Amino acid sequence: MHKKIIIGAASILLSLSAAAEIETPSKYNLTQGVTDTSQQVYDLHMIILYICIVIGIVVFGAMFYSIINHRKSKGAVAAQFHESTKVEIIWTVIPFVILIAMAIPATSVLIDMEDSSKSDITIKITGSQWKWHYQYFDHDFGFYSLLTTPQQQIQNYSHSTNIEPKGENYLLEVDRELVLPIGKKIRFLITADDVIHSWWVPAFAVKQDANPGFINEAWTRINEPGIYRGQCAELCGKDHGFMPIVVRVLEQKDYDIWLQQQLQQVASAKKAAEQALASTLTMAESMTLGEQVYLTRCAACHQVNGAGIPGAFPALKGSAIALGDITKHIDIVANGKPASAMQAFSKQLTAKELAAVVTYERNAWGNDTGDVVQVTNVNLTEAK
Partner 1 sequence: MNTATTTQGSHDSRGHDSSEHDSGEHHDQNAHDHKPKGIMRWILTTNHKDIGTLYLCFSFLMFLIGGAMAMIIRAELYQPGLQIVEPNFFNQMTTVHGLIMVFGAVMPAFTGLANWMIPMMIGAPDMALPRMNNWSFWILPMAFAILLSSLFMEGGGPNFGWTFYAPLSTTYSPPSTALFVFAIHIMGISSILGAINVVVTIINMRAPGMTYMKMPLFVWTWLITAFLLIAVMPVLAATVTMVLTDKFFGTSFFAAAGGGDPVLFQHIFWFFGHPEVYIMILPSFGIVSAIIPTFSRKKLFGYSSMVYATASIAILSFTVWAHHMFTTGMPVAAELFFMYCTMLISVPTGVKVFNWVATMWRGSLTFETPMLFAIAFIILFTIGGFSGLMLAITPADFQYHDTYFVVAHFHYVLVTGAIFSIMAAAYYWLPKWTGNMYDERLGKIHFWASLISVNVLFFPMHFLGLAGMPRRVPDYALQFADFNQLVSIGGFAFGLSQLIFLVVVVKCARGGEKAPAKPWEGAEGLEWDMPSPAPYHSHTTPPVIK
- Which residues of this chain interact with Cu ion, rule CB under 5 A? 197, 232, 236, 243
Residue selected from 35, 126, 208, 346 as contacting partner 1 according to rule CB under 8 A: 208
> Judged by CB under 8 A, which of 137, 141, 200, 258 binds partner 1?
200
Does 328 interact with partner 1 (rule: CB under 8 A)?
Answer: no
- H/E element, 260: helix 252-278
Q: Which of residues 48-67 bind partner 1 (CB under 8 A)?
A: 48-49, 52, 55-56, 59-60, 62-63, 66-67
Contact between 370 and partner 1 by CB under 8 A: the answer reads no
Distance CA(376)–CA(131), nearest Å, equals 28
Among 18, 272, 340, 380, the residue binding partner 1 under the rule CB under 8 A is: 340
Site track for partner 1 across 235-274, x = CB under 8 A: xxxxxxxx--------------------------------
The dihedral over CA atoms of 260, 265, 268, 269, expressed in degrees to the nearest 10, equals: -150
Beta carbons within 8 Å of 46's beta carbon, 6+ residues apart: 16
- Which of 6, 10, 107, 324 contacts partner 1 by CB under 8 A? 107
Strand 197-201 to 141-145 pairing: unpaired
Nearer to Cu ion, 298 or 378 (CB): 298
221 contacts partner 1 (rule: CB under 8 A): no
Site string for partner 1, 10-49 (x = CB under 8 A): -----x---------xxxxxxx-----x--xx--xx--xx
Could you tell which of Cu ion, partner 1, none binds residue 54, using a CB distance below 5 to 8 A set by kind?
none
Looking at 102-110, 277-285, 354-362, 375-383, which segment touches partner 1 (CB under 8 A)?
102-110
CA 314 distance to own-chain centroid? 27
Are the C-beta atoms of residues 320 and 328 closer than 8 Å to each other? no
Pick the binder of partner 1 from 122, 135, 148, 153 (CB under 8 A): 153
* Residues 164-173: contacts with CB under 8 Å, at least 24 apart: 169/229, 171/147, 171/231, 171/241, 171/242, 171/244, 172/229, 172/231, 172/244, 172/246, 173/147, 173/148, 173/149, 173/244, 173/246
* Residue 117 in the binding site for partner 1 (CB under 8 A): no
Q: Which is nearer to partner 1, 302 or 352 (CB)?
A: 302
Binding at 66: pick from Cu ion, partner 1, none (beta carbon under 5-8 Å per type): partner 1
111 binds partner 1 (CB under 8 A): yes
Least distance from C-beta 178 to Cu ion, angstroms?
A: 15
- Between helix 326-335 and helix 375-383 the angle, nearest 10°, is 70
Query: Do residues 166 and 153 touch, judged by C-beta distance below 8 A?
Result: yes
Taking phi first (over 0 means left), then psi (-120 to 50 degrees means alpha), and beta for anything else, what does residue 33 get? Answer: left
